[in-house]
Amino acid sequence: MVAIAWFFVHNTVTNLEARRIASGFGFLSREAGFEIGEKFFLTYSAADSYLRALAVGVLNTLGVALVGIVLATFLGTAIGLFRLSPNFLLRSLSTAYVEFFRNVPLLVQLFFWYALITEGLPHPREALSPLPGVFLSNRGILLPSLEGAPRLEGFNFVGGTAITPEFAALLAGLSVYTAAFIAEIVRAGVLSVERGQWEAAQAVGLERGEALRHVIIPQALRVVVPPLASQYLNLTKNSSLAVAIGYPDLVSIANTTMNQTGQAIEGIAIIMGVYLTISLSISAFMNWYNARISLR
């Protein structure tokens, strides 16, 4: 193992020297020289360093992953419970949802959502307004903010909070796709609870919804939480497909950085380190939560 490791390190160093590529992370302090179209909680300009650009990418990845986890959890839980509904239509539609979205590749779904937003929605002047102050157009989704509601000026909206087509497509794809798997996890968890628990809940006068909330779901969590953690990890790692639709996540910004600096090994190492840290953090939290709700 030592000999193999030495061979790869020696070969890498030799090739870098032959191509006159300096190794190390010193490039992070240099000026990036490129713009980033979307930023979460961190200001950035082309005059900032590569380090700040990568930090923007990390925040963009975290933003879409965290929101996606919340949406996928709520949607998946609802679909999973609907699959157990005595209503035939609701049960059939939920089954069709799971089978369709679970068996279509995520990348294809991302292309679908992106095309639906950019090609299927009208121009800003003809934007749809399902709610007051909310506008849907091929430029994205406009929402009211504390500073004021969006308004049309010229060929686009100003004011309010804008959700870009790239972010909306990525969020929709990740949430809908992961929710199909979470639905099956929730359904399996509910089915794992003994039938006698349902009968006991009915015997004390609880309705179906109350029985689910107070008796069944708390017991099902011990089965649901471990595989649910895996789906959260998958959603976070699948967010790296954002590069396919132009969303500036960590992978996209790191690719631009590597193309400009030639520091491919360092760039890949940064990507691996960030995703590893995020995944271990999610795992630690879910393990803590699982231990907290475990039956004693």
For 271-295, write each residue's pLDDT tens digit: 999 999 999 999 999 999 888 877 6
- Whether the CB-CB separation of 257 and 54 falls below 8 Å is answered with yes
pLDDT score recorded for residue 279: 93
Q: What pLDDT sits at residue 213?
A: 78
- CA-based angle 282:286:290, to the nearest 5? 170
pLDDT of residue 146: 60
How far apart CA 51 and CA 37 sit, in angstroms, is 17
Q: 3-class DSSP state for residue 153?
A: strand
**pLDDT over 70, % of the chain:** 94
| Contacts with 97 (C-beta within 8 Å, 6 or more apart), sequence order | 79, 180, 183
128-186 per-position pLDDT tens digit: 878 777 878 888 888 776 665 686 666 667 666 778 899 999 999 999 999 999 999 99
- CB 75 within 8 Å of CB 175: yes
Structure tokens at 191: 């089915």
What pLDDT is attached to residue 155?
62
**Mean pLDDT value of segment 213-240:** 89
Looking up tokens 């686009």, which residue turns up? 156
Q: Average pLDDT for residues 197-212, to the nearest whole number?
A: 79
Check residue 147 and give its pLDDT.
Answer: 61
In this predicted structure, what is the pLDDT of residue 101? 95
Q: What is the DSSP letter of 33?
A: -
Rounded Cα distance between 78 and 68, Å, is: 15
Confidence of residue 85 (pLDDT cuts 50, 70, 90): confident
* Structural domains of the chain ordered from first start: 2-293 (1.10.3720.10)
pTM: predicted TM-score of the whole model, two decimal places:
0.86
pLDDT of residue 179: 96
Predicted local distance difference test score (pLDDT) of residue 71: 96
- Residue 212: DSSP 8-state: I
Asked whether residue 250 carries a pLDDT value surpassing 70, the answer given is: yes
